[in-house]
Every structure is written in C-alpha cells, then in structure tokens.
Structure 1
C-alpha cells in the first residue's frame, strides 16, 4: 500500500550494488526494485535525504552524485535506468571508493549529516573487505548488509554495524520485500537520531522524540504545536529537562502539524528544534482481506489493520454458489484465523466484519478456493542430455490435472515457461550455460487454480569439469 512520507530526515544514503557477472539479470532487476521500495517514502533534497549508487565491478563506478536527483520521480527513473556492468566482484575496491565519495563535496555529499551504506550482495567477493569496511565504520558510517546468496555469516556479521541482528539480513532475492519495512525503519532511526522527530504516528496522535540536551537540574522543555493551516490554534506543553519524549494526542486526522521544541535553560543556550508531522487518515478495518495457505480442507484468512477501536471480528464463510454460511468469531487483538473442515476444489465467499466498540460494523469480502486433493507434483528429477541441456521429469499429480507448467529461471539468459498436456511428464531444458545455477519449478494446473509447485535448484558443472549437473532439493 502507499507509504506515509518520511520528512525531517537528513542523511546521505549510499547503495553499494553488486553489478558483477556473478549476479543474474533477474536478480539485478529485483534488487533495483527493492532499492526503490526502500527509499520511496523519504523526502529528497539538500535539507533531507540524498542518495547515490556505487557499482561493484572490476572497477567501481558511481551511477550519479548524491545531489543530482532531489525528487521521488526523477530518482525512481534513475534507479530503473541503472544498467548492470558485469566484470569481477571487487567489493574491497568499491568500499575504498565509497569512503572517498561519502565525504566528497564534488560527489554531492554533505558534511555533518548521518552517513548510511546499504550493501546488497550475493555473498561473494574476490578481494578483502574487512579493512576498508572498518575504515568506513571508524568514520561514523552505519553499514547495513543484505545478503541474497550464501555469504559467510561470520564475515558479514563482522562487516556490518553492530548489533548484526539489526544491520544484517539474509534473504532470497524473491523475498526482499519481506525485509523492506524493517530495514527502512532502521535507516530512518540512524538519520533521525540527533533531531526532533515523530514516531508512532496514528490518525489522532504521535510521539515526539529528541536528543538529551538538558537534565532535571539544568532546565525544562516547552513544546508548541499547531495545525499548519491554523497556526493561531497553537497549543503548549512543558516537561522537565529529564524527558526526551512526549506523546501528543487528541489530534485531527490527515492534518499537518508544525511542532517546535524549545529547551529552556539558564546554564546553556540550545536553539529551538522544529519538525513537521502529518497524522494518518482515519483508519478503517478491515481495509484488506488476504487468503493464503490454501489446502484441500482449509485456508488461512488474515486482515489489516488491527485497531484499538475494534472489539472483535466475525468471519462468515460459505461455498459458492449457495447460501449455507458458517460463523467464526475472533477477538479484536487478532488479525487472522484458519478456516477448517472445508470441501476440496470448492470456491468460498469469505466476509470479515469488524465490530467496533462504538457499535458500528464494517465488512470486506474475498473469494477463496480450496485445492484439489493431493494437488502436488512429486519426485522432480534431472537427466544430462548433452552440452547445456537437461531433461526434467516428474511423477503425475493427483486429481483432474489440465496440464503442467514448467518454469526455468536461468542465472544467465531469459527465464522460460513451458506448458504441457497432462499426459506429458518430462521436458527438455536448453541454453543452460555451464557453471550456472538455475531454478526449475513444475506446477500442476487445475480448472479452478494452479496446484502446488515443486522446485529444485540445478547447478551446471563448468565446462572444464566432467560434463553434467548437480541438483539439490529447495525447501
């Protein structure tokens, strides 16, 4: 869904992008999407966030200076237009180059703003990274590492900023969206740390946070806040010098507030700090209903958001067509349930109703399909058929199969999808370059939905070794 914009964040954010030949075109494209998703909510500008990309290749290259793209639209296009360079994975050389650029006015970097490095890697480097990475961290750069391959945990956890559980992520390239929000929040924490900022923003409240400037003995803080369009409606609160946060509540939804923090002290002078915070739209629940983990006799229903104003949820479900419905009740703190004892290969209408404490009710519906019994391919295996060619075979799936869909995701070259009739249980896969790792998935197709796929990763031996392949089960 749309992200609330993140403003009052000042920092230089540098992506270290593995652009070498060890990364497939598909992986490179997914990483570019991930980079854009990560930065999309930030506000860009000379007083906000600036970002750049350095390619890891034989020779490191800067895609664009920090101060070139100062709007979301132009930055998104620049990330989309970024081309893979291929070449060697000289990460150490790229880190030394990054150290120069992160502190270079010519590269558009700014003095005295937080510096963040996000290194996206398949876990492989041809040169040493420990020394240049340590130099970067010694200069105050916060290092986040996202490993999409089989990187050495000890080496990468030493390279990332501490603690590694906050700064190091291991994730398959297809699952990058899972970590986007957590990583974005961690980056925001770094570039917010020394300024007045808001957290826990809702439609009617937010919490102000600020650095420790005063103490109980040296003074107090005055907080002034008002809607930007009605500054005459200014409200004032005072808290002791020992505070570093304050919750503001009873605010209007979808309203931008101007906020000032004034440290009052007879000992030191601290200039006022200001920020601008926009409350969220008044939330309604459920705003979305998601069906997942569908089996022959059950499926999982989840919904969002969960609100304090909701007392409980009612889940009505019944087969289509028909008017036989059953009811499940879930308390307001939960946002999911499992619906069981269902008929296989059947479409159900599921309606989630939020019952508010005020007595109001809001409903949203979704369709769900149960699987056919045993709707999974079994025993996927491979046979070497000569240079760059494999034969993939499988045992038939249960139920009334209309056909099979075979997807081959090549490390180099395009992905392909082959559809075959239900009587055919093998296909030839060609153009599998030696030395590459490729992913093959076979899915049965039924009248109402696709069945569960079975995937395996196939490694083609380099041409110098004995011809052939290795394969391993992929969970």
Structure 2
C-alpha cells in the first residue's frame, strides 16, 4: 500500500508542471495588439516581500497574452533613485522568456524618483519615433504599480503622457494620495485606478487585465469587398510559421440573433445552417461566396494548431442589396446613321443575354438585337439622321427575372459641306464673295476674313448671313486677304471653304480656292 502511495505522489510531482503548462497554453489571448509599459516602484519604501508580490502579480497579469511584433509587447521600468529600464518592448517575444526575466528582477532601492522614470518613459520608451520605442499607430499603455508613498510631482508628466495618447492605469498597494492618483489615470477612474492590499493583489488581476484588453484590443477579423453575393475575410496570419489551419464558419444571422457557433445545426430543426471552409496556416484571406443579397451574416475564424491555442474571432457584416443590370445606359460614337449603346454593370454570372430594342420616335419601326452575357455594348446601324430614338436594354437573368431600362438619343443631323466658293476683286480693296449652298435645314452662313502680311495673319473679322444669302461684298480690305465661308445647321457647323485674294495695281478679277 505504501508503495502505491509513493508511486502516486511521484506521479503528482511529475505531472503537475505539465498540467500548469497546458493551462497556460489554453489561456493564451490572441485578442490584442499594443505596447504596455509597467512602471514598478522598487524604491526603499517598498520591502523585498512587497516587491516580490508585485512581480508575482505582474507575472500572472500578463501570462495569458500572446507576445510578438504583431501582438502585445511588454516593457518594465523600475523606479528608484536612478530609474532603470529592465527590458524594452522588443526584448521578449515569448512568455517563457518574459516569465524567466520577471523571476530574476531585483529591487533598486533608494528614493522614489517617479518623475525621472516618467521622463524616460515619455522621451525614450513610449515615443514611437525612437529606436526600440513603441510602435506607431498602436495603443500605448502605462501601468504604474506603486505603494502610494511620496509619489512626487507626477500630475504634470502624467498629463503630458495622456495628451500624447498614452493610457495611464495605476495600482496602489497603499491607501494614501488618493486625489493625486485619481488625477493621473485616464478616465474612467473606476476602471483604471485600483487600491488593494499587497497580499490581495490577485483579486484585481482579471479586472485590470480586462481594462488593458479594452484599450489594446485588436479587431483582427475584417471584412472587405462585400458585394451582393460574396465577401472577403481578412485577418492577421497568427499561424504563420506554425503547423495548423484556419477554420471558417459563416451563416445568416437569424431574427432571434442566433449565430453559427456550436454544433452547426439548428437547435429547433437539426438542419445544417452554416457553411464551413478551411484555409492553410500561411493564408490571411478567404472569399465567401454564394451569399444572399441584403443579408446579415456572422463569420467566425478559429486558428487551430497543436503548438499554441488561439481564441475564435468573429465578425458580422451585411451583403449589398441585389442590383439587377442594367443600372446605367450610355451612348457614344454618335453619328448621323449609327450610335454605340453601352450598359452596366456587367453581370455574366447571373445574366444569360441582353435584348436591345430601338425605334424612331414617335412611331418608327421597331428593331431588335440580342447579345451575349459577356457583352455590355453594341453598335446600332442604319439609323436616320437628326432623329430621336427610344432605346431599351433588357437583361435576362438566369433566375428568370428580367430588367429593362430605356433612354432617348438623337442622331446627328446631316451637315453638308459648302459646295463652292469664288472671290472676285472689285477695285483695289473690295471683294465680291459668291458661294453655293441653299441646302434644306440650313440656318445660315458664317463668313470670316483676315488680312495677311508676309504670311502672318492679321486681325480677323466675322459676319453672320441668313440662309438665303449666296453672296456678299467685302470692302476696305488689305492687299492680301483670306476669306472663309461655313454653312450653319441646327446642331453644328458644316465644313466650309476658304480662298485667298490678292489685289494688283490693275483691277483684274480673279479668285482661287486654297
């Protein structure tokens, strides 16, 4: 019997450390990202026993956190006559190394020079721009562990830290200087200021840890590229370098708020209601497909590894309302007898074909053309010039739905060029200008002329003439004059002709087209 009892005691002694290690691993918090600096009072007013109790409390407090460059980093600055940084943020990336360092910390003794310690924290440790300092754009936390005896003039330096975005929390094992300590913590004081006896520090461990987590909590599961039927999950690759995988589950959120965790079946019906997929350990994104439009989903991500335990992360998102093409129709390459009609958005995964109808208003012949699901434009030909058309694009969806959208467009009118232009000199400074036009739809003519000296253009003059005008006379012209005539139509100016006239000493008549 004694042999059995001895064997049992030996087994307990051997197994107990293993059980403790497993409980530590299971409690790892993959929740947060930030830099936490502990300011530990180790001056002469703190006994060796109190110092060891503070370190034990600190060890228990930070034990569950995941450490590393993409997670939580911890620093320790001791307060004495000459404050000392025991280790900075980039010193330890594993709990085993950090816990070993905490067990070897010795008190400094001497005066309580908290002001100097705060100066070091502000200018060196907690400043992102310094080497080995805090990380930019991440939460920074200062946790001050003190006995509350003669804290010094700390109100102003603590205020400066808070102004720079540092969250300040205080744990006091004494019960003096309450008003001073209340002023230095970040609000709300009821969550960030703790008074506790040295032998009862463990009772505030969870509350203080939760307060720190609230400040440095990292939203590690994000949703991007949300559409009507898909969304992409993105997360930090916490399994990088480890053996394992990510398990993803997602499902619509029911009216009662039920999520997709648990067994994967509906408690009331027993029917599977979540979708599941897995991703490799080195992945950081996953695309969720076949979602319903305008529906709220809950997705969970569980990093799974035999080497380390991680929390399950979750996120809720809502898909976009269903948008049936076409939503917009545009017209380009508009000419006298043709026009290109385009539409969008292109939805080849849900549309089988497009049907385009067009007719001249008010009662023109109806024309139609069908194009495939991968096409989002077509060129309409054989149109009538200067005519308003009604164009309708209908999308035939695979679901059986059909959506149509219509626009009006007007083809360009025919704008014939000027047929002929002649210039006849009259005297030494006048021109008779004649042209041929008189086309239906003509709104008039635009005539311009300018003198030229050594091929350099001079001042330009212009004149509008009514549509029944086929000639005009220009006077007081320079010896070398260029004249242009263009027909004007309802929507545009037609192509014109230009001629140059030169006056000679004898009044000979001539003209030529340039």
TM-score category, normalised to shorter length: 0.3 to 0.5
- TM-score, normalised on structure 2? 0.43
